[in-house]
Structure 1
Amino acid sequence: MGCAGSSQTKGDGTVKKIRKPKPWKNPQPLTKTQLMQMRDEFWDTAPHYGGQKEIWDALRAAAEADLTLAQAIVDSAGVIVQSADLTICYDERGAKYELPHYVLSEPTNLIRDG
């Protein structure tokens, strides 16, 4: 039985808290519509890269949520976070999941649609 001050830990005894990704710049300025299209294409094809569809779904939900909810999503899905910005994660079976920066945050040179 845990106490109120206990926390869930991963295999190495620590929980990696997720954080906001570092700012990034796309080689060419993107509109919000173009960014959303790139994200949709990634998520549509992500399960074909390997791993479990349920984990990809959890990672998408986490990528689209605020940090507190994202942390709860990855914790409940059993996702092992290697990079605190969610760019590299693993599932409990050891499958690797790599997320590009464009699905996690907006570029610094984003052009707002008209």
Structure 2
Amino acid sequence: MGCVSSKRSKEDEGKKKIRKPKPWKHSGPITEAQLTQMREEFWDTAPHYGGRREIWDALKAAAEAELSFAQTIIDSAGVIVQSNDLTVCYDERGAKYELPKYVLSAPVNLILDN
């Protein structure tokens, strides 16, 4: 027999504590300017992938914020976090939101612009 309280509810899923993504490497060296351009292109086109605009806006704000503030943004927007690093999330209606690692953190092979 299992205990009802031992299962995670949908509400608990949305309360996962988010964390920084694991270090990752781009396919080749990339400059800060190129990374910024990739991020801008993603956020400009993200609402066309489906889901609600306000959730995309909240995810963008969380991706660009400090970790503790990002948690507040995610919780306030009602985002259900599947992956603690925000790469896979859902809204309350069940729409899926997938974020590439490059919008969440910089790669280890980033070339700093001078």
TM-score by length of 1: 0.89
Structure 2 portions without partners, runs of 5+? 1-7
Q: C-alpha displacement at 1:13, in angstroms?
A: 3.4
The residue number in structure 2 matching 1:105 is: 105
Following TM superposition, by how much is the alpha carbon of 1:44 offset from its aligned partner in structure 2, in angstroms? 0.1
Give CA-to-partner distance per residue, 1:55-113, whole Å, 9 cap, x none.
00000000000110000000000000000000000000000000000000000000011
* Deviation at residue 11 of structure 1 after TM alignment: 2.2
- Structure 1 consecutive aligned stretches of length 4 or more whose deviation exceeds 4 Å: none
Q: What secondary structure is seen at the aligned counterpart in 1 of 2:10?
A: coil
The corresponding residue for 1:77 is 77
Q: Tell me the matched-pair count.
A: 106
Would the aligned equivalents of 1:50 and 1:95 in 2 still touch at CA under 8 Å?
yes
Q: Deviations over 1:23-60 (max 9, x none)?
A: 00001100000000000000000000000000000000
Whose helix fraction is larger, Structure 1's or Structure 2's?
A: 2
Deviation at 1:10, TM superposition (A): 6.2
Give me the identity figure in percent. 72
Question: In the alignment, what sits opposite 1:32?
Answer: 32
TM-score, with normalisation over the residues of structure 2? 0.89
CA RMSD in angstroms, aligned pairs only: 1.4
The one-letter amino acid paired with 1:36 is T
Cα distance in structure 1, aligned partners of 2:9 and 2:55:
17
